[in-house]
Amino acid sequence: MSELSFEQMFEESSIKRLRAGEAVTGQVIGVKEDEIILSIAGSKSEGIITRSEFTNEPNVDLTTRVSVGDELEAKVLKVNDGEGMASLSYKRLAADKGLKRLKEAFENKEVLTEKVTQVMEKGLVVEVEGTRVFIPASMVSDTYDKDLSKYAGQEIEFVVTEFNPSGRRSRIIGDRKQLMIAKKAAMQKELFERIEVGQTVEGAVKNVTDFGAFIDLGGADGLLHISEMSWGRVENPKKVFKVGDQVRALIKDINGEKIALSLKFPETNPWAKAAVNYAAGNVVEGRVARMTDFGAFVELEPGVDALLHVSQISREHVDKPSDVLSVGQIIRARVVDFNEADRKISLSMKALESQNSSQDADIADVDIDAVAASEDAQ
């Protein structure tokens, strides 16, 4: 046996023989739009990766994904594709790695973070190293999400709750909902440990109803009832607040997991100076807020209303307030009674009429005396 033939035999024995199913590494020596050619390391063989075995994306241009000289790992599908080249798959090797990764995450209850690659009517799809995980719509959030399109392209956290990659019912299921519930529970515990009645808190309006607004305090919602939105009268909360508004409020009450909020800060209480501003005898201006058959309620300022009884509207007889007054009208009147304990104020427009009539009579008397004096002088 010659020396040359011995070297050839040694070289042949050191060359790796390819086997279907094994993972190999190779250098890209050619790339087209629809296929990649690899020179397989440790072997004299070359392999081909078609577009469909590189990615699940349709019609992708492979020249935009890899370049000559790049190193890739792939799975051997066939040792010889009939043309002397090995048939390789990049995506299947990635899927194998993904399955292994997902199995570990499933067994260890690990929290994974991946980007949403597809939004479907019934849920979301994420990929872990090329392996698809389906998150049903009911497991996307702890609240009902009608439109899942907002999650497209977003990175989300989830846990694998079902791992069955083989068989007729191949299923790998993810769950984001349980993470959100656990996170909110922790936030709620932290919130209730630090808040107390009388404290000022800030939050965003989460929902507005006919009876109030729910404020997200971070861990729990607080209810701002319509009666606590202002010292004055609020007819419709939806005209005052909209979802997303930032609100600074006072904690009025905490009852279990229920938090009652208020915008009636003590320092802004209009009744604090009402005894001075609306003392009996003061002349005031106000807006007619509403009317009944027995009188009109006049808003002197937000939170301070006064009653103008029908008998105090005019010196002339008035059957009902709406005959001479209208809602929104600004009127002047005299305070005839102030009851701070019951927060009741009574007004009289008639008292001002009487005063004006008396003043007119005094002026008339002065004019007559002046005329008489003038005649005597002549």
Question: What 3 state SS string does 17-53 have?
Answer: CCCCCCEEEEEEEEECCCEEEEEECCCCCEEEEEHHH
Number of other CB atoms surrounding residue 158 within 10 Å: 24
Q: Is 364 helix (H, G, I), strand (E, B) or coil?
A: helix
What pLDDT does residue 153 have? Answer: 92
What pLDDT does residue 377 have? Answer: 41
Q: Are 39 and 68 in contact (CB under 8 A)?
A: no
CATH of 270-354, one of 3.10.20.30, 2.40.50.140, 2.30.110.10, 2.60.120.260: 2.40.50.140
Where exactly are the structural domains of the chain? 24-93, 109-180, 196-267, 270-354
What pLDDT does residue 16 have? Answer: 62
What pLDDT does residue 43 have? Answer: 81
Q: Please give the class, per CATH, of domain 24-93.
A: mainly beta
Per-residue DSSP letter, 170: -
CA dist list (Å): 60 to 33, 37, 87, 131 = 8, 16, 19, 19
Q: Does CATH place domain 109-180 in 3.40.50.980?
A: no
pTM score > 0.85 for this model? no
* Mean pLDDT in consecutive groups of 10 residues from the start of the chain, 378 residues: 47 63 92 94 89 88 94 91 84 87 94 94 90 93 88 95 80 94 93 94 95 94 95 90 95 95 93 93 95 95 94 93 95 95 94 66 42 40
Give the C-alpha separation, 273 to 276, whole Å.
6
Check for a shared fold between 109-180 and 196-267: yes
- Encoding tokens for residue 310? 């029908």
Give the C-alpha separation, 228 to 234, whole Å.
9
What pLDDT does residue 146 have? Answer: 84
Pairing mode, strands 212-216 and 23-31: unpaired
Q: Please give the class, per CATH, of domain 196-267.
A: mainly beta
Give the C-alpha separation, 297 to 284, whole Å.
14
CA dist list (Å): 254 to 141, 196, 220, 303, 348 = 27, 7, 12, 25, 43
